[in-house]
Amino acid sequence: MRLPSVNIAHYLHSRKPPNLHISGAQCWNLARIPTSRRHYHATQPRHVRSVHENLQKHGILKIGLKFPDPDSEYLKQLVVGLHQHHGHQLPISHSASRGWFWDVRPNSTVFQTANHQARSETMEEFPWHTDCSYEDLPPRYFALHVLQEDQFGGGTLSAMNTQRLSLSLSPATRESLMRREYSITIPPEFIKDPRKQNIIGSLMAADEQGQLNMLRFRRDLVTALTERAAKALHELEAAVQDANAQFQSTVHLTAKDFPAGTIILMDNRRWLHARHSIKDPNRHLRRVRWDAIPFDARPMEQ
């Protein structure tokens, strides 16, 4: 069942003036941007500003490309434009052996990191998580470019709004989640320094306006270091799995919503995401993560 309770901004490329559509009755016309070249929009300051502003406002954005782009050149140029015009940090490397882009597709024999298969390289479901929760500087944003959708209807991408999720937690749990009392293990395929196997940090943080809407979470990697942290982690995990909470805070993108040529951009701290199991072994997405900044800028507790 698809849940329409959360708005998603859609920014579609075409030879007509692009429109920004929000689910419901609202609709805004964006500035006209000529498409004289294949990747022209990604280098235009107005277009880049529209993407930046809508990411800030909604935290999730869907872009439809109307031209073939097998090498994800549009996405590369867009991220560089966000860096040049809006101060986003450039993309992070995925591991010691990979650069900006990571191919999200099933493969049981050839892995992008030697001797280690990432979860994204399987056909299994991937429960609720944020990307790079194990990084000292987790990326603020990530994008997925669909090169080939799941032809058999699998691989639904779900996104959960963390601010709405946090409202279902008790004040004591929110306070505990903000304490640096959690060990987060670095998966073997993403270890960049063999001497560093985990980090210590908090799971929840406030944004610049003081709103508790930033979360980092991947349950299989997190270990609570105190009793109060364990209680808070248990409540958070229960809230993430609660059907009523999901109904109020979750949107689902099926293969029909996510065809080849689609790009989804997401605020990695304001939205958890999950993937249903893949049915098509030829499903292929390309991922980039960028704007790696401190998750919790507060001074260390004494």
**Of 278, 289, 287, nearest to 107 (Cα)?**
278
157 against 38, higher pLDDT? 157
The pTM (predicted TM-score) of the whole model is: 0.84
CA 125 to chain centre: 16
Contacts of 109 (CB under 8 A, 6+ apart): none
Q: Which of 7-21, 91-105, 163-177 has the lowest mean pLDDT?
A: 7-21
Confidence of residue 90 (pLDDT cuts 50, 70, 90): very high
Domain ranges of the chain: 9-292
**Cβ of 18: how many Cβ atoms within 10 Å?**
22
Confidence of residue 110 (pLDDT cuts 50, 70, 90): low
pLDDT for position 190: 79
**Of 274, 297, 278, nearest to 138 (Cα)?**
297
The share of the chain scoring above pLDDT 70, in percent, equals: 78
Contacts of 33 (CB under 8 A, 6+ apart): 17, 18, 40, 41, 44, 46, 47
pLDDT for position 99: 74
**Cβ of 149: how many Cβ atoms within 10 Å?**
23
pLDDT for position 102: 86
Q: Are the C-beta atoms of residues 113 and 95 closer than 8 Å to each other?
A: yes
Confidence of residue 41 (pLDDT cuts 50, 70, 90): confident
Rounded to an integer, the average pLDDT of 64-71 is 90
Residue 22, token pair as written in the block: 């929000």
Query: CA 135, CA 292: separation in Å to the nearest integer?
Result: 9
Entry field: residues in the chain: 302
The DSSP annotation for the chain comes to -----S--EEEE-SSSPPEEEESSS-EEEPPP----STTGGGG-HHHHHHHHHHHHHHSEEEEE-SS--TT-HHHHHHHHHHHHHH-PPPPPPSSSS--SEEEE---SS--SBTTB--GGGSSS-EEEE-TTTTSSS-EEEEEEEEEE--TTS---EEEEEHHHHHTTS-HHHHHHHTSS-EEEEPPGGG-SSTT--EEEE-SEE--TTS---EE--BGGGEEE-SHHHHHHHHHHHHHHH-HHHHHHHEEEE-TTTS-TTEEEEEETTTEEEEEPPP--TT-EEEEEEEEE--S--SPPP-
9-292 carries CATH number 3.60.130.10: yes
pLDDT at residue 189 above 80?
no
